[in-house]
Amino acid sequence: MSADRELVLTRLINAPREKVYRAWTDPALLKQWFAPKPYTTPVVEIDVRPGGSGLFVMRGPDGKDMPNRGVYLEVVPNERLVSTDAFIKAWEPSEKPFMTMILTFEDEGGKTRYTARVRHWTVADKEAHEKMGFHTGWGLCTDQLEALVATI
């Protein structure tokens, strides 16, 4: 994969990877951290298995909902989650595929080396995601994720 279509966030989180993985796979936990505040995530419906679908609805401070649908491609508990919006459910293609997300959770002595790798279909999609605030937004969400896993 060429770097011209990829965005990456890596962070060392002070929690075991089982907790970080759980925060990505438990809808009740996802609702607490998934969107950068003041955005919220009122709807999370996920079937975490290869071929399982997911729906995340982010709500803006103005009340506007932004649904995000996708399908899990690979699930390795406590190690790796791969999903894409190229499909919205049951291998039904989306109208406009945007990205594939690869999350890894590596053990570092009880802490987690968390890496979110986002691969885009086109260079323009990657650039649009950067302009939407990928680094700031995903960074804030990761801060919220880390704060949450410290409590579970």
The CATH code of the domain that includes 73 is 3.30.530.20
Q: Phi/psi of residue 7, each to 5°?
A: -120, 140
Q: Are 6 and 126 in contact (CB under 8 A)?
A: yes
d(CA 109, CA 151): 19
Tell me the pTM: 0.94
Tokens of 69: 């649908």
- Work out how many domains the chain is built from and give that number: 1
* pLDDT by position in tens, the chain (length 152): 578 999 999 999 999 999 999 999 999 999 999 999 999 999 999 999 999 999 999 999 999 999 999 999 999 999 999 999 999 988 899 999 999 999 999 999 999 999 999 999 999 999 999 999 999 999 999 999 999 999 99
Beta carbons of 123 and 83 less than 8 angstroms apart: no
**Structural domain boundaries, residue 51:** 3-149
Query: Within 13 A of 87's CA, how many CA atoms are on the CB side?
Result: 14
Q: What are the distances in angstroms from CA 139 to CA 8, 73, 97, 135?
A: 11, 24, 23, 6
